[in-house]
Structure 1
Amino acid sequence: MTRFLAFLTSLLLIAGLATANPSQWRHEWPETNFQKTSIDNWSEIMSGGPPKDGIPAIDDPKFLRAGDKGGIAGNEPVITVEIDGQTPRAYPIRYLTWHEIVNDQIGGIPVAVTFCPLCNSGITFDRRVQGKVLSFGVSGKLRHSDMVMYDRETQSWWQQAIGEGIVGQMTGVELRQLPSWMESWDQFRARNPQGLVMAEPDFNRSYGRNPYQGYDSSARPFLYNGESPPHGIPPLERVVRVGDRAWPLTRIRNEGGVREAGVAISWEKGQASALDHGTIAKGRDVGTVRVRDRQGRDVPHDVMFAFAFHAFWPNGTWMVR
C-alpha cells in the first residue's frame, strides 16, 4: 500500500506541476477571480483526482437521536459540536471521509463541519462572513495535501487547515473556528444520550470503509512535496494544534495530558483511527483529545498530521519540552 501510494503520488505530482496554472482552471472556474490570491507559487496547488464537487459536500443533513442510531461501532470517530443552548451533535467520520464538508445550521449559527483525510484535520467553522452566509463545496484541489474548499457564493477558494481564503474575492478572509473535537461514538452518546447524530447520507458510498488503508502509518504523506517536520517527528504523527502551537500526541498520551501555554489538553483511550485499517472500526486506538482553557471551556483546536502543521505554520512552536 505504501509503495503504491508513493508511486501514485509521484505521477500526480508530475501531472500537477505541469498544469499548475490558472489558465488551465478557468474553464472549470469561470467565476473565480484568479487575479486576487495569496498564493505565490501556483505549483503548490494540484488536483487531488476528483473534479469540482466530485466529492459531494452534504447540505441540510438529517439527524437521529443518539439512542435511536445503529450501525456505528462504539469506537468509531465522530466530530462533536456542542453549542450553548443547543442539543449536541455528532458527525460520524464514516460519512465525512466520503463527503469532507457538511453545511449545517445549529440554532442560529450556520456551520461547516470539515474533515480532510489526508491531513486528519477536522475543523468546524462559522459560515457567516462579511454579512453573508456562505456554503462550501470540495474543489478537488489540494495544497500541501490539504483540502481546498470553495464557497458557492463567490467561487473563492479556501484552505481548510487554516480556514482562510487563498484565491478569489475572499482572499485573506478568515473563517471563525468553533470549538469541536473528535471522539468515539461511545464517548459522545454516553455524555449525550439525547444528543443528535447525523443520519446516513443518501449516496451510494461504502460508509464505514476507509479508502486510505494504512495511510497514517506511511513514511510520507500523499501528494506532498514539502519539508518534513523538525525534531525528528514523523510526518504522519498526530499533533494537537492550538493556534500556532503543536503538541505531539505521543507526548500528551505518555504524560497523561499536559497543562501549559494557558490550556489543559487531556487524552482518553477508546477512539479508533479513521486512517489505519480498511474498516474504520478495526483501526488502532489513537484516543480522544479535549482542549480546555483555565475556565474549563472548550478551545478551538485540531488534531492533524505533523507535516501539515509544519507546512502551514512553518514558524510555529513545537511543544516538545
Structure 2
Amino acid sequence: MRFAPLAAFLCAATLALPLAAQSVMMRVEWPNTDFETRSVDLDEIRSGGPGRDGIPALDDPRFIAAADETRIGDMEAVITLEFEGDTPRAYPIRYLTWHEIVNDEVGGIPVAVTFCPLCNSAITFDRRVDGRVLSFGVSGNLRHSDMVMYDRETESWWQQAIGEGIVGEMTGTDLIELPSWMESFAEFRDRNPDGLVMDEPDWRRPYGRNPYVGYDSSTRPFLYDGEMPPHGIEPLARVIRVGDRAWPMQRLAEVEEVTEAGVTITWEAGKASALDTENIGAGRDVGMIRVRDAAGADMPHDVMFAFAYHAFWPEGEWMLGN
C-alpha cells in the first residue's frame, strides 16, 4: 500500500502513546469533557494525528443543482439522503474524505452526515437528543481505527460506527441512525434530475484526491490492534451491516440480490472505490448497495470494512449464505 501525503503524515504522527498515557495533555485540550464518565477504557482510544478539529467538520453546506455539477465524475461516490417532503441531496465523498462530518438540516431534521475513511463507514444520524440539537466535530481520535466524534454542546465523545456516546456527559446515549446510502453520482443524478449536490467547501483541500491510496487493498487496517474477522474474510473486505448482522459484499456482487432476515439487499455495478487510486473517481468498481424492508422502504445500514464490523459487533451474525 502507498499512502499519499496526508496518510504518510498520519503514519508518522500517530505512533503516539494511547490517550490514557497522555492524560495531562488530553485534559488541557478537552477541559469541558467529563472523563470520569465513560463506557470504554481510555487506553483503547488513540490519536489519529490531527488534533481536535484538525479535520474540520462542515456546517450549513451550500448546494447546487445536480444537473449543473461538472466537477464530479459519474462513478464518484456520494452519500444520498431522500427524505419525504424535501429535495433529494447528495454529499460527495470527495468532500467528506477531508471533512468527515457535515452538520445539515434536511426535511426539517437536523442531521450529521458522517464518513470515516479508515473504516469506510458512512452513516447519517439525527442530531436531536432528548429535544436538544447537537452539532458534531472531529475529535482527531480513533478507537478500533474508527473516528471518534464529539458534540460541541457537552464535548462528549461519540463512536461514529455505532452512534453512541462513549466519554463524557452523553455516555451511553444512542443517536438515531437515518436511512442513507452510498451510490455513484451518475446514479443519483439520473434518478433525481432536480436533485441537489453539496457544493465545494471554502477550504483549501485537494478535493477529488484520495489521501489513502491503495488502502482498501491493504492486508491490515491502519492503527488497529484488535482481532481480525472470522470465516477467512479479509479485514478490509466490505460488508453490509444492518443492525447487528453483516453480509459480505462479495456475496452480494455474485448474486446481486438477497432477501433474508426481513431485509432485501441489492447490488449494482457502477460506483468507484474512494480508497483505491489517487483520483477518487477512478478507483475500481466496487458496486453500490440498497437495503429495503419488506414494504420496500429504505433502511439504515452501513457498508464498512469487515475488521470494523467485527470490532464493534464481536457477537454479530455473519450472513454467509452457507
Q: TM-score by structure 2 length?
A: 0.96
Q: Which residue of 1 aligns with 2:27?
A: 26
SS in 2 for 1:97: helix
Counterparts of 1:288 and 1:11 in 2: how far apart (Å)? 33
Classify 1:97/1:7 alpha carbon distance in 2 versus 1 (closer, same or farther; 3 Å): closer
1:85 CA drift (Å): 1.1
Aligned-partner residue type, residue 204 of structure 2: N
Classify 1:165/1:224 alpha carbon distance in 2 versus 1 (closer, same or farther; 3 Å): same
SS in 2 for 1:26: helix
Aligned-partner residue type, residue 319 of structure 1: M
Checking the alignment, whether the CA contact within 8 Å between 1:20 and 1:45 is kept in structure 2 is: no
Counterparts of 2:191 and 2:3 in 1: how far apart (Å)? 42
Counterparts of 1:16 and 1:62 in 2: how far apart (Å)? 39
Q: Which residue of 2 aligns with 1:100?
A: 100
Counterparts of 1:17 and 1:95 in 2: how far apart (Å)? 29
Counterparts of 1:288 and 1:276 in 2: how far apart (Å)? 16
Structure 1: stretches of 5+ with no match in the other structure:
none
Q: Which residue of 2 aligns with 1:133?
A: 133
Aligned-partner residue type, residue 122 of structure 1: A
Checking the alignment, whether the CA contact within 8 Å between 2:77 and 2:92 is kept in structure 1 is: yes
Q: Which moved more, 1:41-50 or 1:198-207?
A: 41-50
1:2 CA drift (Å): 5.3
Deviations 1:251-278 (A, max 9, x none): 0111122110000000000000000001
Q: Which residue of 2 aligns with 1:260?
A: 260
Aligned-partner residue type, residue 237 of structure 2: E
Checking the alignment, whether the CA contact within 8 Å between 1:210 and 1:277 is kept in structure 2 is: yes
Aligned-partner residue type, residue 306 of structure 1: A
Checking the alignment, whether the CA contact within 8 Å between 2:75 and 2:186 is kept in structure 1 is: yes
Aligned-partner residue type, residue 36 of structure 2: Q
Deviations 1:119-161 (A, max 9, x none): 0000000000111100000000000000000000000000000
Counterparts of 2:86 and 2:149 in 1: how far apart (Å)? 27
1:120 matches 2:127: no
1:110 CA drift (Å): 0.3
Aligned-partner residue type, residue 124 of structure 1: T
1:314 CA drift (Å): 0.5
Classify 1:185/1:125 alpha carbon distance in 2 versus 1 (closer, same or farther; 3 Å): same
1:108 CA drift (Å): 1.2
1:21 CA drift (Å): 4.7
1:219 CA drift (Å): 0.3
Q: Which residue of 2 aligns with 1:200?
A: 200
1:109-258 residue pairs with structure 2 within 5 A? 109-258=109-258
Checking the alignment, whether the CA contact within 8 Å between 2:19 and 2:45 is kept in structure 1 is: no
Counterparts of 1:104 and 1:18 in 2: how far apart (Å)? 30
Counterparts of 2:3 and 2:57 in 1: how far apart (Å)? 30
Counterparts of 2:8 and 2:202 in 1: how far apart (Å)? 34
SS in 1 for 2:216: helix
Report the RMSD for the aligned CA atoms in angstroms: 1.9
Checking the alignment, whether the CA contact within 8 Å between 2:239 and 2:249 is kept in structure 1 is: yes
Aligned-partner residue type, residue 28 of structure 1: E
Aligned-partner residue type, residue 196 of structure 1: L
Aligned-partner residue type, residue 38 of structure 2: T
Counterparts of 1:2 and 1:201 in 2: how far apart (Å)? 27
SS in 1 for 2:96: helix
Deviations 1:175-204 (A, max 9, x none): 000000000000000000000100000000
Checking the alignment, whether the CA contact within 8 Å between 1:292 and 1:299 is kept in structure 2 is: yes
Deviations 1:10-33 (A, max 9, x none): 876652337545433000000000
Structure 2: stretches of 5+ with no match in the other structure:
none
SS in 2 for 1:229: coil
Checking the alignment, whether the CA contact within 8 Å between 2:10 and 2:48 is kept in structure 1 is: no
Counterparts of 1:10 and 1:103 in 2: how far apart (Å)? 28
1:55 CA drift (Å): 0.3
Q: Which residue of 2 aligns with 1:37?
A: 38
Counterparts of 1:3 and 1:279 in 2: how far apart (Å)? 13
Aligned-partner residue type, residue 71 of structure 1: R
Deviations 1:198-255 (A, max 9, x none): 0000000000000000000000000000000000000000000000000000001111
SS in 2 for 1:189: helix
Counterparts of 1:198 and 1:7 in 2: how far apart (Å)? 28
Checking the alignment, whether the CA contact within 8 Å between 1:78 and 1:91 is kept in structure 2 is: yes
Counterparts of 2:18 and 2:318 in 1: how far apart (Å)? 31
Classify 1:27/1:259 alpha carbon distance in 2 versus 1 (closer, same or farther; 3 Å): same
Aligned-partner residue type, residue 24 of structure 1: M
Counterparts of 2:207 and 2:11 in 1: how far apart (Å)? 28
